[in-house]
Structure 1
Amino acid sequence: MTVHIQDSPARAYREAGEAHDVDALLATLADDVVFRSPLSATASFAGKEQVRELFSVAFSALSDLRYQSDIGDGRRRALTATARLGRQEIHEAAFVEVGDDGLIKEVTMWVRPLPGLTAMMAALGPGLARATGRPGLPWLVSAAVKPLAAMTRLGDRTLVPLLTRRRSR
């Protein structure tokens, strides 16, 4: 069965994301939702409270979130969107699984380009670390990810153009 975009169970999720409305977004999620992070294979957020913390931090850092695609059936949806993180444009893709109750039970997200992903890591990491209540962790996370974000931004601006331009023979 194909579900049209206006009937998609993910529609309210998309609209809440574009509006940066954390409560409306949480209303689309199952209590035991799992969000798989684009930042790490070991990072996932389980349950509405962890996902609330994640999206609260993410919405404070992102702007101009706009969804372009919502493709799939009533149970599995692939969503694509663009957003801005400061001056960096990012592209995201999310795979959303809907449970029998019509609520989203799992979200797996990917982000590109690499400078956008590392900028997201630098922007969200310290905020998520603060939510743990562990003193010093926000500083440690910031110290670890900011150089990575700077290196990928520099590499994207200076090295990648050298690799993609061919010399004439």
Structure 2
Amino acid sequence: MKAFRELVESAIATGTLDGVDALLADDVVFTSPVAFTPYPGKAITAAILDGVARVFTDFRYVSTIEEGSRSALVFEAMVGEVSVNGCDFITTNEDGLITEFTVMVRPLSGAKALADAMAQECPRIQAAARAATPPA
């Protein structure tokens, strides 16, 4: 998805993905490479992606595959001193908003480094998601 890739490439150096929520459908589902249960909802997905922006360094997309409403964005990055290769699988709806966002990473050392780094971000992610969630 071109809009997401452009946002990431322009914003990743700042450690935040300001504006990512405008690309997400309200009912988006985020599937993490290190958590079993998917995360439903715009607020938590935006908060997770913002957390990832703080964890990854030297992030770059190296390839994109698009087929209709589905995209695969292949990336390389560092988590601390560990090299990570991965792919963002993105599905959009008829309005062009992201409805599914699945991340896969390799090698195992990269997945472990990502899991450890994201665990450190968890309180900040949860707080951001709560702050962005409208009251019921």
Normalised to the residue count of structure 1, the TM-score between the two structures is 0.67
After superposing on structure 2, the runs of 4+ consecutive aligned residues of structure 1 that deviate more than 6 Å are none
Identify which of 28, 31, 40 aligns with 2:35.
40
Higher relative contact order (CA 8 A, sep 6+): 2
The CA distance in 1 between the partners of 2:57 and 2:3, in whole Å, is 18
The CA distance in 2 between the partners of 1:103 and 1:49, in whole Å, is 14
- Amino acid paired to 2:23: T
CA-atom RMSD in angstroms = 1.6
How many residues in Structure 1 have an aligned counterpart in Structure 2? 123
Deviations 1:71-119 (A, max 9, x none): 1222111110011111111011121111111111101110001001000
> Which residue pairs with 1:109 in the alignment?
103
Identify which of 121, 127, 133 aligns with 2:121.
127
The CA distance in 2 between the partners of 1:93 and 1:71, in whole Å, is 10
**Unaligned 5+ residue runs, structure 2?**
128-136
- Amino acid paired to 1:38: P
Larger radius of gyration: 1
> Which residue pairs with 2:72 in the alignment?
78
Change (3 A) 1:13 1:114: same
Quote how far apart the aligned CAs of 1:51 are: 1.3
**Unaligned 5+ residue runs, structure 1?**
1-9, 134-169
The CA distance in 1 between the partners of 2:78 and 2:46, in whole Å, is 20
Change (3 A) 1:112 1:106: same
Identify which of 91, 95, 98 aligns with 1:97.
91
Identity %: 37
- Amino acid paired to 2:34: L
> Which residue pairs with 1:22 in the alignment?
17
The CA distance in 1 between the partners of 2:75 and 2:59, in whole Å, is 7
The CA distance in 2 between the partners of 1:88 and 1:54, in whole Å, is 20
